Each structure stands twice: as structure tokens, then as C-alpha cells.
Amino acid sequence: MLVTLKEMADQAADKHYAVPAFNIFGYEDILPVVQAAEAMKAPVILAANLVAVKHMPTPFLAPLMVQAAKQASVPVCVHLDHGKNLESCIEAIEHGFSSVMYDGSQLPLEENIRRTKEIADYAHKHGVSIEAEIGSVGYSDPSIQMKHMLSDPEEVEIFVRETGIDAVAISVGTVHRMEEQAASIDFDLLQRIQDRVSIPLVIHGSSGVPDDQLRKLTTYRVAKINIGTALRMAFGASLRAEIESKPKEFDRIALFQAPMQAVFETAKNKFSILGF
């Protein structure tokens, strides 16, 4: 069933569990992610980032995501990840997304607040949830020029109060696109942030977080944990193995079966780590 992020995250934060938001790039990972959620009887967030919508524009990708959500036997949120402006968020909302994230984390606080509030007002008017980021989660890929800056608890409090967002993404030690589980969460900082705000918290870049720290995050009001690289690595490694072991196979549907199963198993493992 299709639900909003607010419906999903409020309950998760109150009951101390975290819903994984898996970055998807097409049918071949939408399907196994939803199947994994159903197998684990768990809610899930399908998250399309700007890489995904550049590859498959929103008018094509959105119907796949929304239909998968509507047919699922578990709650599914269809979410835009790291929207960079009002236009990208409007496009997602117009095509049926139930949640959007506006990422103004590279802007000065005042400008981030102004733009986020504008998008929050639009989203709420249309019955859609909004997540936004304060502080900045950097990237392990040096070709992506984005500052890494831990969130300041006082700024988080101001940001949440002034924007009216439904969930806030914070920077407490994670890094996007880490291929090894080598991140270290600053749980003291997380606690100080949690003490200042009541809305659900979001952690990005969680593929690089060790399993024990992922589990510990669920004891806080962290309601949404973003996972992308882990699934991409599982799909890519399996696809390479399939091509190498079946050099005469040219049917991509046949070649995609093992990678889709790898995504399914990886997603199930993440659900298990998060307590489902």
C-alpha cells in the first residue's frame, strides 16, 4: 500500500525501529526490494535519487514505483531523494510520489530554511511529506564535490522549527557511497540533536555503517535509514559473475535473474539487521 513518509516515520520513531530507504534505479531493483519487504513483513521506502531520474525520467520511473507500492501487501513510501530545487520536487509530486526530500545542505542556514519552507508548504498542500537536510553528509567519491559537515544541534532545532518539515536528515558521521562498513556514528551528537527536536531523524550514507551501529541507531528516534551502495554492489557483482559464467547468454532478462535475487537477499539482510 502507498503511504506517506510522515505516516511511516512517526510510527517508526515512536516505536523505535527504522525503515530502510533503498535507492532504486529501475524495475530490476524495485521488484526485489518490495518482495524483500513483503517477505520480512516490513514497511519500506523506495527512493529515487537524481542519478536514477536522469537515467529514467520521472514520468517513466514514477509509475513503476507507485504501482509497486499500491500492489504491495506492506506499507511502501515512494520518495524523491536529494531533490535540488522546487521544480524537481514539484515534478515528483505531480507524478505520484508520496514523499520528497529537498537537499539545501550546501546553502547557508537562512537560505536553506527559506527554500525548504517553500517546498514544505507546497508538498503539504498536496498531501505529500517532506524531508530536508541540515549539516552535510559528504561522499567517498572524490569526483563529487560536496562538503562534509556534522550537524549542529542548535541549527537543527532552528531549522526544524522554521521549516515545518516532517523528518530531518542529519550528519553524524556517515559518508555516501562507502564500499566498506567503516563509518563511525557520533552517538553523543545524535543524542544531543534528538534532545532538541521531536520529529523523526534520518541517516543517509548507511551502507558504510557497521551492523552493530545500524542496530544501535534503532534505539534512537532514527526512523529512516538510507541504503544505496550495498544494493548496487550486490547487483553489480552478481551481474559480472553471470556474464563471466555464461559468455553465450545474450538475453538480459535471463542475465538479470541472479542480480535481482542478490538485491532481494541483501535487502532482506538489512531488514533483519534493523530488527524486522
CATH number at residue 108: 3.20.20.70
Confirm if 235 and 264 have CB atoms less than 8 A apart: no
C-alpha cell at 62: 514514477
Confirm if 68 and 30 have CB atoms less than 8 A apart: yes
User: Is residue 259 in some structural domain?
Assistant: no
User: Is residue 240 in some structural domain?
Assistant: no
Beta bridge partners of 227: 22
User: Is residue 99 in some structural domain?
Assistant: yes
Kindly report the CA angle at 89 between 87 and 93, in degrees rounded to 5? Answer: 115
User: Is residue 120 in some structural domain?
Assistant: yes
Residue-by-residue pLDDT tens, the chain, 276 positions:
999 999 999 999 999 999 999 999 999 999 999 999 999 999 999 999 999 999 999 999 999 999 999 999 999 999 999 999 999 999 999 999 999 999 998 899 999 999 999 999 999 999 999 999 997 765 544 444 445 678 889 999 999 999 999 999 998 876 644 445 546 788 989 999 999 999 999 998 777 788 888 889 899 999 999 998 889 999 999 999 999 999 999 999 999 999 999 999 999 999 999 989
Overall domain count for the chain? 1
**Residue 257 half-sphere exposure toward CB, CA atoms < 13 A:** 7
User: Is residue 19 in some structural domain?
Assistant: yes
d(CA 89, CA 175): 24
Please report which residue ranges of 164-276 form alpha helices under DSSP H. Answer: 187-194, 211-217, 229-245, 252-273
What are the catalytic residues?
81
- Report the sign of the C-alpha dihedral through residues 264, 276, 42, 167, in that order: negative
User: Is residue 219 in some structural domain?
Assistant: yes
User: Is residue 254 in some structural domain?
Assistant: no
d(CA 46, CA 228): 11
Confirm if 165 and 130 have CB atoms less than 8 A apart: yes
User: Which residue ranges are tagged as binding site?
Assistant: 82, 103, 133, 176, 204
What's the predicted TM-score (pTM) here?
0.92
Domain of residue 142, residue span: 5-228+267-273
From residue 131, give the alpha-carbon distance in Å to each of 15, 85, 146, 155, 164. 20, 13, 19, 16, 10
User: Which residue ranges are tagged as binding site for Zn(2+)?
Assistant: 82, 103, 133, 176, 204
User: Is residue 261 in some structural domain?
Assistant: no
